[in-house]
Amino acid sequence: MRMYDLIRKKRDGKILAKDEIIYIIDGYTKDKIPDYQMSALLMAVYLKGMNEEETLNLTIAMADSGDKLDLSEIKGVKVDKHSTGGVGDKTSLILGPMVAACGVPVAKMSGRGLGHTGGTIDKLESFKGFTTSLSEKDFINNVNDIKLAIVGQTANLAPADKKIYALRDVTGTVENISLIASSIMSKKIASGADAIVLDVKTGDGAFMKTEEEAVKLAEEMVKIGNGAGRKTVALITDMDQPLGYAVGNALEVKEAIDTLNGKGSKELLELCYALGSQMLVLGGKALSESEARIKLQEAVKSKSALSKMAEFIKAQGGEMQAVYQTDLLPKAEIIEPVLAQTDGYISKIKCEEVGMVSLILGGGRENKESIIDLSVGVILCKKIGDKVKNGDILAYIHGNAHKKVNEAKERLLSAYTITKETTGVSKLVKQIVR
């Protein structure tokens, strides 16, 4: 078998066999196939596409290229959740405790963020002492004991995907549905869950800008998940404005705690109920979405989900008391309001711009070496559809340097569009793909 022949085969629009895909992934991971040949193949895939079977075989080959988490010692159906990313997306912080409180084991492998805010792990490190460096034994024991544990991704999880993604990033081959779907799902399959719920974002702050693109990606990932023996469901959800009101690590943790107290954003809680319902059904703890929703609502009302969060934080070395006294979380020294400059209605919030505000303040990483300031970010006070008057507070900037705060205020003000006529708010959950 020669890489040259496989490049020509895909260039001519032919189907790559399973053993050929395994040869490519194995060879590239072990540095037997050079970047220039892999680049040529990726461009051929980008232009000619891959069918359903090829995409599944590519995903499994990448998942098999490194470490795989064995969760067989964990009792029950392990359900994982993945979001394609957005601004203010703190759903994992809420869903984990909520779903675990209903009896579904959540054994999650998460990463750090690269961009406007930190990832789930960065946010959890707002709790003093919290660690995701658990041994495999402690990880499994924690899930069996309290139904919830989150660890950092191992360096050798789907290494083929890391190498291929870096190459796609510099060769103009990122925007291909098969390559995007296999990249996401290879890591989910290697993470060991029995079932997967996907939150596929669409809108200004999402990778997929249109609902049509989001549905295509969701359908591809659901096919891969089911083809790999994982029950998989995807929700298409709105990201035309930040999710909830907080953007920034410790600020998002506080909003997550408020939500588990039943006091958070209604849209954020609704999304968690929608995703959580699918997790409970797949996990065998509810026969229907309506039954699952009732159980989740009870977990919030009874505070059992909040207690589960505290239990989880303590089990991983964190300051549990911060769940009940959020003033113990990191706080910024400067809090400045951003004021409306005219009367009218909020008709648009440039979601990516709000994310950039957090990055300017130090809440995200511009590169892998960047150090995150967990205390900074934005608290929105007005969102799409809200009426405002000149001088009303649109948001509060939380920062630790006056120069950065002033730059952030200008940037955030430019993200808001205020018009004379009111505008409709996009539907939060647009579709469910099974």
> Distance between CA 23 and CA 33 in Å, rounded?
10
Whether 130 and 313 have beta carbons less than 8 Å apart is answered as yes
Catalytic pick among 163, 187, 382, 404? 187
Whether 433 and 219 have beta carbons less than 8 Å apart is answered as yes
> Distance between CA 228 and CA 221 in Å, rounded?
10
Q: Is 183 a catalytic residue?
A: yes
Q: Is the dihedral of CA 212, 213, 217, 218 positive or negative?
A: negative
Whether 281 and 289 have beta carbons less than 8 Å apart is answered as yes
Catalytic pick among 90, 163, 168, 383? 168
Q: Is 331 a catalytic residue?
A: no
User: First CA to last CA across the chain, in angstroms?
Assistant: 37
Q: Is 411 a catalytic residue?
A: no
Whether 167 and 203 have beta carbons less than 8 Å apart is answered as no
Q: Is 168 a catalytic residue?
A: yes
Give the number of other Cβ atoms within 10 Å of residue 382's Cβ: 20
Q: Is 204 a catalytic residue?
A: no
Which residues neighbour 148 within 8 Å (Cβ) at sequence distance 6 or greater?
96, 97, 100, 105, 106, 142, 308, 311, 312
Catalytic pick among 80, 89, 161, 373? 161
Strand partners, 195: 79, 231
Catalytic pick among 65, 92, 110, 183? 183
Strand partners, 151: 109
Catalytic pick among 10, 78, 81, 82? 82
Give the number of other Cβ atoms within 10 Å of residue 320's Cβ: 17
Q: Which amino acids are annotated catalytic?
A: 82, 161, 168, 183, 187
